[in-house]
């Protein structure tokens, strides 16, 4: 098949769409990715990239076409909106002018924003290729949750835009089962909605390397890995760390960066937790299992908001695949998975006091009990989030969509 992937984010930005694109290319499909200039999460163009540099390249057998876009910059909402809109406009224009008219299927990767669907629809009208749209972030709900947007006119406009985008897609894939009713409320027929969860990339395996990539403090280590953003609720995490700062053997290890990174660094100093909260910055994915192996508990968190209660954070699959016990400050679907798997402990989203109490409880467990939690996390991951099975199912969906215009029903899948 000739597959076009439309994604605002792609390698060297760390998103699972990278893994998917490379797998499809390995399977012999002709894969092209229409994407932007990498600038996530720092807000600055990645080294070696720019408006006039490396606009076309090949990565792991995948043809990558990069369009000009305004970088994310700092944490300002206006700059972020310009980043979203500039990609949607330039990808639509570039797609029409520079890309082939022959695609068998278009796959859209939508962590955020939903506007990434606009260039896909522009190209669909020209090529007649069916669109599979992968929803990892519900709009407009997430705009309210993460961005604080509550203007009825703006939310109404975004609702209409989302309905319009979903309405042009042959399939709407959802990363959480809890998304299905919300997507259905946008006018998408049940037969067109498919559960397509995140997976853990092949690098996420239990590590046998005993030494961490960098020295880590001795004691009980609670480790967070990923984006430091609004949704991850670092105020609550730091509240828990502050409550436990009288326990110098409990250390909070943070791997990653993001829009809230500078704020977190300032808060660590203001709260006087420099001795127990350690901000180590970002590292390549292939080093993550070595870090994870040094953690006594892996922390996953989201703000207390109805839309986040429907979400399964992508890092959860990576943690579980590495066989580590989970400390989840989550509501809803994410917490349900941790509890169903017997993979660790959960507490209410946004509750720093409850998180501190849960961490203290975790420190009191026998190491063998924590090891059993990790083993159960790994087993659940293999049963429900197996990379190969998930990819092959998507390949089947793509081939069916490309081969016929009349869609199969869910029962036929």
| Dihedral, 84, 286, 320, 313 alpha carbons, nearest 10 | -10
325 φ/ψ angles, rounded to the nearest 5 degrees = -65, 145
On the question of pLDDT at 405 being above 60, the answer is no
pLDDT tens string 72-99: 887 678 898 999 999 999 999 998 988 8
CB atoms within 10 A of CB 88: 23
pLDDT, tens digit, 9 for 90 and up, residues 127-140: 899 999 999 999 98
Which residues are bridge partners to 300 per DSSP? 328
Residue with tokens 């159960």: 376
Quick check: 166 pLDDT over 90? yes
Mean pLDDT over residues 372-386, rounded?
A: 97
Band of pLDDT at residue 143, cut at 50, 70 and 90: confident
**Would you tell me the crossing angle of helices 352-363 and 234-243 to the nearest 10 degrees?**
50
CATH number of 2-199+386-405: 3.40.50.2000
Instruction: Report angle CA 131, 134, 139 to the nearest 5 degrees.
Output: 110
Q: Can you tell me the distance from the alpha carbon of 126 to that of 131, in angstroms, rounded to the nearest whole number?
A: 13
Q: Residues with Cβ < 8 Å from 22, sequence gap 6 or more?
A: 59, 60, 61, 62
Contact of 105 with 398, CB cutoff 8 Å: yes
Which of the four pLDDT bands, split at 50, 70 and 90, describes residue 259?
confident
Kindly report, as residue ranges, where domains of CATH 3.40.50.2000 are found in the chain: 2-199+386-405, 220-384
Fold type of domain 220-384: Rossmann fold (3.40.50)
């Amino acid at each position: 098949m000739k597959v076009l992937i439309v994604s605002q984010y792609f390698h060297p930005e760390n998103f699972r769409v990278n893994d998917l694109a490379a797998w499809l290319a390995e399977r012999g499909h002709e894969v092209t990715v229409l994407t932007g200039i990498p600038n996530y999460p720092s807000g600055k163009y990645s080294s070696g990239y720019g408006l006039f540099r490396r606009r076309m390249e090949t990565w792991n057998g995948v043809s990558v076409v990069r369009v000009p876009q305004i970088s994310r910059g700092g944490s300002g909402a206006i700059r972020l909106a310009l980043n979203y809109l500039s990609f949607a406009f330039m990808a639509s224009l570039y797609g029409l002018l520079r890309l082939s008219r022959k695609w068998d299927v278009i796959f859209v990767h939508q962590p955020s924003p939903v506007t990434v669907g606009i260039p896909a629809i522009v190209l669909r009208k020209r090529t007649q290729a069916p669109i599979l749209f992968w929803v990892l972030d519900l709009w407009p709900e997430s705009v309210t949750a993460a961005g604080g947007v509550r203007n009825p006119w703006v939310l109404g406009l975004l609702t209409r835009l989302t309905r319009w985008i979903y309405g042009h897609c042959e399939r709407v894939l959802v990363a959480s089962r809890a998304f299905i009713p919300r997507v259905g409320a946008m006018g998408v027929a049940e037969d067109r909605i498919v559960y397509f969860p995140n997976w853990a990339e092949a690098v996420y395996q239990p590590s046998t390397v005993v030494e961490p990539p960098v020295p880590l403090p001795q004691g009980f280590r609670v480790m967070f890995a990923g984006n430091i953003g609004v949704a991850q609720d670092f105020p609550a995490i730091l509240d828990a760390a502050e409550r436990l700062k009288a326990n110098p053997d409990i250390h909070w290890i943070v791997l990653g960066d993001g829009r809230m990174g500078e704020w977190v660094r300032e808060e660590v100093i203001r709260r006087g937790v420099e001795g127990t909260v350690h901000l180590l910055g970002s590292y390549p994915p292939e080093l993550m299992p070595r870090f994870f192996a040094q953690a006594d508990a892996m922390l996953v968190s989201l703000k207390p908001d109805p839309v986040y209660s429907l979400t399964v954070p992508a890092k959860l699959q990576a943690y579980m695949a590495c066989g580590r016990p989970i400390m989840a400050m989550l509501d809803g679907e994410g917490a349900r998975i941790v509890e169903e798997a017997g993979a660790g402990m959960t507490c209410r989203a946004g509750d720093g006091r409850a998180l501190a109490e849960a961490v203290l409880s975790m420190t009191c467990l026998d190491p063998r009990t924590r090891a059993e939690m990790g083993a159960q996390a790994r087993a659940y991951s293999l049963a429900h989030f197996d990379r190969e099975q998930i990819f092959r199912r998507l390949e089947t969906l793509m081939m069916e969509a490309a081969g016929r215009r009349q869609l199969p029903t869910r029962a036929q899948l």
